[in-house]
Structure 1
């Protein structure tokens, strides 16, 4: 069963890369994607096409044959340029997030259908160099209390800061080897410092 936000290990699970990360498309799904994209591009091209705008000013719907005119296809090409720009921006963002969560350049390249060398050239900042990786704090709520799991880059170790439901506060030293160990320690602290009658189970 997949974890929910109520589970103490939810954020640790979110920050753990699954392998494989995806399944291949069914051919019918790709046909559907093609149809959706074509419909969207045609709609935008019709909007900016000077020829179609002229028809609409005359109170007419552009005839179907307009779509084969060279100037209309130039409008299509212009739309596709914008689509490509958006795709490239989204791809760069996805690659950076995946890379900072532990995905390697071979994995990024495989997802995009290119070699790892090409992936490194395409997204040079996606995968942090060893020793420069950054980790977002992992929030934790359990047994009525809250905590945040942090990584100390200098010590290359994990630590936590926690507030129990009974008001007890703790900030440990960076002594945990993994985020899982730090999360387990923070969870134990929160369980030990619940209000009477409060349980995380």
Structure 2
């Protein structure tokens, strides 16, 4: 994986850019808190001034966390795994999953899932629901050995409707009783 460490020169430029962005925010916050004009913010009590700077960094920190979560979600939407995000952030896969729980969505299963079996008139039918559409289908084997299924492209709205059609098939293909 590519190293994401920055050079000393880049660190100097980053520090300057962050301080340049922070000063107007700290000045505005201090002005609101003290009632002093922004251009006189630095003339206030040094403890109050430094606390204003600290408060501004807190705002920046919260914004960086928000933007980081958005970046993680974007990476996840393009297929990045928690393992990859953790590697970039310098944490474990589990740490990345905890930090950005919604960043990677689990892929929806498109295969049909079995939802039950029906035994009737000596035959059996299997009912399935398609995850992507929610529609129900059936396949079955009658007591006389005939195989059948819902017509191609036919999906039933409910499980009960699919079971009724499967039941009719099984009844039709029951062994005749003498």
| TM-score normalised according to structure 1 size | 0.47
1:52-131 alignment runs, 5 A limit: 53-54=35-36, 56=37, 61-62=39-40, 66=44, 69-131=46-108
* RMSD (Å) for aligned C-alpha atoms: 3.1
- For the pair shown, the structure with the greater C-alpha radius of gyration is 2
Q: 2:30 aligns with which of 25, 49, 61?
A: 49
Output one character per residue of 1:81-137: Cα deviation in whole Å (capped at 9) or x when no partner: 21111111111111011112111112111222222111100111111124369xxxx
Distance 1:72 1:102 in 2: 45
Greater relative contact order: 1 or 2 (C-alpha under 8 angstroms, separation 6 or more)? Answer: 1
Output one character per residue of 1:6-31: Cα deviation in whole Å (capped at 9) or x when no partner: xxxxxxxxxxxxx64x7532221121
Q: Which runs of 5+ in 1 are unaligned?
A: 1-18, 134-152, 156-201
Aligned residues: 112
Q: Does structure 1 conserve the Cα–Cα contact (< 8 Å) formed by 2:82 and 2:97? A: yes
Distance 1:34 1:62 in 2: 24
Tell whether 2:8 aligns with 1:27.
yes
